[in-house]
Chain A
Amino acid sequence: MLILTLKKEWLESKREGRIIWLSSIILILLACALLSSWHSYQQLQTQKQQVIKSERERWLNQGEKGPHSAAHYGVYIIKPDTALSVLDPGLSDYQGAVLRLEAHKKNDTLFRSIQDAIQMQRFGDLNPAFILQTLLPLLIILLGFHSIAAERESGTLKQLLANGLSPKSFFTAKVLALTGLGLLFFAPVVLYLVYSLLFNDGSFERGALFIVSYACYIFVWALLTLIVSSYARTARSALITLLVIWALACLLLPKFAIEDAANRYPTASSQVFQSKLESEIYTPARQQAIAEFKRATLSKYHVDNVDDLPFAWSGAQLQFGEQYADKVFDRLFGQRQTQLEAQSLHYQNMAIFSPFIALQTVSMSAAATDLAHHQLFSNAGETHRRLIQATLNGDLKDNGKASIRNNKSYQGDHHLWEKIPDFNYQYPAISELSAHYGRAAACLLLWLAVLFSLSYFAIQRIEKEGQL
């Protein structure tokens, strides 16, 4: 029955012509988007590797200088990409790819692609995820809206039923045929994933999540299309209903969900946040805390003057200042992170109403281009920054005393710089991050379950053909 239906649908579509053209356009768009993303990804990876290498050289070859000067000299770390980011760049363009690590500051990432984008790009970026998440459902609708409704209108459905057709087999074959067609458009993506797995160090776990979630999404749209087509009296009304559902699910609800999330869980603007950071770190309380630390240290070593301490006071004071600022960073960045996570969860909750939101969330997670992965990178960067500061301040504290005695300023050299390890961050396995996309994945499965249930009624509706 499936092969029979596929063959018949294929023959009709081939002779229809428009469907072939439409499908070809989508396939060409997908191929172009895939090639263009792949090309950009390759270029970016080459550049990133070069930057990582030259940045390490810059750090190691900075010459002799005070450790604190080196701390201000800073290092740049590069955010890693997964091979899946070619398919779904997610929030990457807005997140930045480089983080500067320096003394006293927890910076935001730099080099956000959106800053370099031309103005027209605000109308939409052509990437594989956009085509698969937004255009593919539209194509599935255009391929399948008439599938049952037109058979009802033309009388062939009654003819088929009178011939002994089983409505269940008929509906199942139509769903599988439409899903199969939808999956055909996904084939280039699967090929790319296999390639990335074999030759590009791709993650099997992430690739599997990506494929399964998109297959579910295609299945959801095929089911939805055919359920509506089963209920609609005419193909035209089926098309209108489906286009409204598509516009709501893929265009309007995501925008609304973002706006709603931002209103419910507001975050301060970047400038306000930065000035709040400054104002909360450099306060009289900080001066007081440093004075208290000094008093406690002098008391601990039973001396009256920092010059009499057995180590360089400046190193200890700098490290104390860092740790004081770290607490403020943890609190303020933590508050901001809580708000951002609340926004993200609120957006995910809207996946109950939109399979697009469900898939988008899971897809970005699999591709490591979502907020959670960005935060993991930022946190890893911050841990590295604190390690650098602790190493440099510790070195100044331990070794700076001798230079002070000789009335010379202490200088670190490449031995010290080499103590700072490479920043070589790798994202954790996607299964460890299920808290960030689990709700969306559950919504996608819920959509499938609900549509499966509605399929029963759609089959009943086909069975009742002729009574109405």
Chain B
Amino acid sequence: MNSDEQTHVISVTNLSKHFAEYQAVDDISFTVKKGEILALLGPNGAGKTTTINCILGFLKPDGGTVSIAGIDPAKDVVKARKQLAYIPEQVALYPKLSGLENLQYMSKVAGVNKNKAQFRELLERVNLPKHATDKPIASYSKGMRQKVGIAIALAKNAKALILDEPTSGLDPSASHEFSQLIQTLAKEGVAILMATHDLYRAQEDAHSVAIMNQGKLVHSLTGDGIKEVQLESLYLEHVRVASTC
């Protein structure tokens, strides 16, 4: 294993997945390194969520491979999932339980061994208001639920974080706060894959951008290139071009 392979926490190689006649993901490859944020962009139906489901091991690829910290979810899904945390658009939590109780249950189920005080600290770290910690999730805003989701990822010490439309529906302030949190996680060495429609957030936060359309990876950008381009124009250009092909 070379140094690149060691730092590539998420590796997707020639991934393909089809549903009946529909090719949802068509031979795509990308990697996310330790501490890197990759924004996966694309219109609805581009194949972003299918790609994420393959990475999470919810779908078995028809071709290609996925690797999470060196583990193929198609071979050992539970072990692969132990390495990652997943935050969907709507973080699914138990409405009758408090944020703290949700965090405790979700983390302990994943094999995390921490005490109550440590879990409280994690909720503080994600800036969940103290008064909300012991209140039922039913009373939480979407932003607060996302914070509990991040706390779950922190508790797990996940090597990779998979986000599916994490800022959708968040107000600008909550979106900004969320962005800061994931940047902190990246600085701590977590590899982050973020499927999003939020071009602004992608340009602000991501170290790499991959644009998908009709199951194909149609364009990639890394480093300073992201800040320098008109991402919206580039996105629309690739989405439009691909759609008319």
Measured CB to CB, the residues of A under 8 A from B are 1, 4, 8, 11-12, 15-16, 154-156, 158-166, 170, 463, 465-467
Q: How far is the CB of A12 from chain B (nearest CB, A)?
A: 5
Cβ of B41 under 8 Å from chain A: no
Q: Do A156 and B82 form a contact, CB below 8 Å, given A466-B56, A466-B58?
A: no
A4 to B94, CA, bound (A): 14
Q: Do A4 and B109 form a contact, CB below 8 Å, given A162-B81, A163-B86?
A: yes
The 8 closest A-B pairs by CB, nearest first: A466-B58, A155-B92, A162-B86, A164-B82, A164-B81, A163-B110, A15-B96, A159-B92
Q: Do B92 and A467 touch (CB < 8 A)? A: no
Q: Do A158 and B92 touch (CB < 8 A)? A: yes
Q: Do B97 and A8 touch (CB < 8 A)? A: yes
Q: Do A162 and B84 touch (CB < 8 A)? A: yes
**Cβ < 8 Å to A, chain B residues 35-88:** 53, 56, 58-59, 77-79, 81-82, 84-86, 88
Residues of the A chain whose Cβ atoms lie less than 8 Å from the Cβ of B125: none
Measured CB to CB, the residues of B under 8 A from A are 53, 56, 58-59, 77-79, 81-82, 84-86, 88, 90-97, 101, 105-111, 136, 152, 156, 162
Other A-B pairs, 17, CB within 8 Å; known A8-B97, A164-B78, A164-B111: A4-B109, A11-B96, A12-B94, A15-B136, A154-B92, A155-B92, A156-B92, A156-B93, A159-B106, A162-B84, A163-B152, A164-B82, A165-B81, A466-B53, A466-B58, A467-B53, A467-B58
Q: How far is the CB of B93 from chain A (nearest CB, A)?
A: 7
Label chain B's interface by main secondary structure.
mixed
Residues of the B chain whose Cβ atoms lie less than 8 Å from the Cβ of A15: 96-97, 136
Q: Do B111 and A466 touch (CB < 8 A)? A: no
Q: Do B86 and A8 touch (CB < 8 A)? A: no
- Name the residue on B nearest A17 (C-beta): B96
Residues of the A chain whose Cβ atoms lie less than 8 Å from the Cβ of B106: 159-160, 163
- Name the residue on B nearest A7 (C-beta): B105
A230 to B59, CA, bound (A): 18
- Name the residue on B nearest A154 (C-beta): B92
Identify which of B59, B91, B111, B162 contacts A467 (C-beta below 8 A). B59
Q: How far is the CB of A113 from chain B (nearest CB, A)?
A: 47
Q: Do B109 and A1 touch (CB < 8 A)? A: yes
A224 to B54, CA, bound (A): 31
Q: How far is the CB of A155 from chain B (nearest CB, A)?
A: 3
Residues of the A chain whose Cβ atoms lie less than 8 Å from the Cβ of B53: 466-467
Q: Do A12 and B96 touch (CB < 8 A)? A: yes
- Name the residue on A nearest B82 (C-beta): A164
A-B contact pairs, 25 of them (CB 8 A): A4-B105, A4-B108, A4-B109, A12-B94, A15-B136, A16-B96, A154-B92, A155-B88, A158-B88, A159-B86, A159-B88, A159-B91, A161-B56, A161-B81, A162-B81, A163-B106, A163-B107, A163-B110, A163-B152, A164-B78, A164-B81, A165-B81, A170-B109, A463-B77, A466-B59
Residues of the B chain whose Cβ atoms lie less than 8 Å from the Cβ of A154: 92, 94-95
Q: Do A158 and B58 touch (CB < 8 A)? A: yes
A281 to B156, CA, bound (A): 87
A400 to B173, CA, bound (A): 115
Q: How far is the CB of A4 from chain B (nearest CB, A)?
A: 5
Q: How far is the CB of B77 from chain A (nearest CB, A)?
A: 8
Residues of the A chain whose Cβ atoms lie less than 8 Å from the Cβ of B156: 163-164
Residues of the A chain whose Cβ atoms lie less than 8 Å from the Cβ of B162: 162
Q: Do B78 and A166 touch (CB < 8 A)? A: yes
Q: Do B92 and A163 touch (CB < 8 A)? A: no
A463 to B93, CA, bound (A): 19
- Name the residue on B nearest A163 (C-beta): B110
Q: Do A156 and B94 touch (CB < 8 A)? A: yes
Residues of the B chain whose Cβ atoms lie less than 8 Å from the Cβ of A12: 94, 96-97
Q: Which of A4, A8, A162 has the most CB of B within 10 A?
A: A162
- Name the residue on A nearest B152 (C-beta): A163
- Name the residue on A nearest B81 (C-beta): A164
Q: Do B101 and A11 touch (CB < 8 A)? A: yes
A163 to B85, CA, bound (A): 6
Q: How far is the CB of A108 from chain B (nearest CB, A)?
A: 58
Identify which of A165, A465, A467 contacts B109 (C-beta below 8 A). A165
A155 to B106, CA, bound (A): 13
A156 to B85, CA, bound (A): 13
Q: Do A11 and B97 touch (CB < 8 A)? A: yes
Q: How far is the CB of B20 from chain A (nearest CB, A)?
A: 14
Q: Do A465 and B58 touch (CB < 8 A)? A: yes
Residues of the A chain whose Cβ atoms lie less than 8 Å from the Cβ of B79: 164
A465 to B77, CA, bound (A): 12
A12 to B101, CA, bound (A): 11
Residues of the A chain whose Cβ atoms lie less than 8 Å from the Cβ of B136: 15
- Name the residue on B nearest A12 (C-beta): B96
Q: How far is the CB of B23 from chain A (nearest CB, A)?
A: 17
Residues of the A chain whose Cβ atoms lie less than 8 Å from the Cβ of B84: 162
A156 to B148, CA, bound (A): 13
A158 to B88, CA, bound (A): 10
Q: Do A164 and B90 touch (CB < 8 A)? A: no
Q: How far is the CB of A267 from chain B (nearest CB, A)?
A: 56
Residues of the A chain whose Cβ atoms lie less than 8 Å from the Cβ of B95: 154
Identify which of A4, A16, A162 contacts B56 (C-beta below 8 A). A162
- Name the residue on A nearest B93 (C-beta): A156
A289 to B59, CA, bound (A): 88
Residues of the B chain whose Cβ atoms lie less than 8 Å from the Cβ of A4: 105, 108-109
A466 to B105, CA, bound (A): 21
Identify which of A8, A166, A463 contacts B105 (C-beta below 8 A). A8
A11 to B136, CA, bound (A): 11
Residues of the B chain whose Cβ atoms lie less than 8 Å from the Cβ of A155: 88, 90, 92
Q: How far is the CB of A166 from chain B (nearest CB, A)?
A: 5
A44 to B78, CA, bound (A): 61
Q: How far is the CB of A174 from chain B (nearest CB, A)?
A: 12
Q: How far is the CB of B137 from chain A (nearest CB, A)?
A: 10
Q: How far is the CB of A229 from chain B (nearest CB, A)?
A: 16
Residues of the B chain whose Cβ atoms lie less than 8 Å from the Cβ of A158: 58, 88, 92
A271 to B180, CA, bound (A): 90
- Name the residue on B nearest A157 (C-beta): B92
Residues of the A chain whose Cβ atoms lie less than 8 Å from the Cβ of B81: 161-165
- Name the residue on A nearest B162 (C-beta): A162
Residues of the A chain whose Cβ atoms lie less than 8 Å from the Cβ of B101: 8, 11
Residues of the B chain whose Cβ atoms lie less than 8 Å from the Cβ of A8: 94, 97, 101, 105
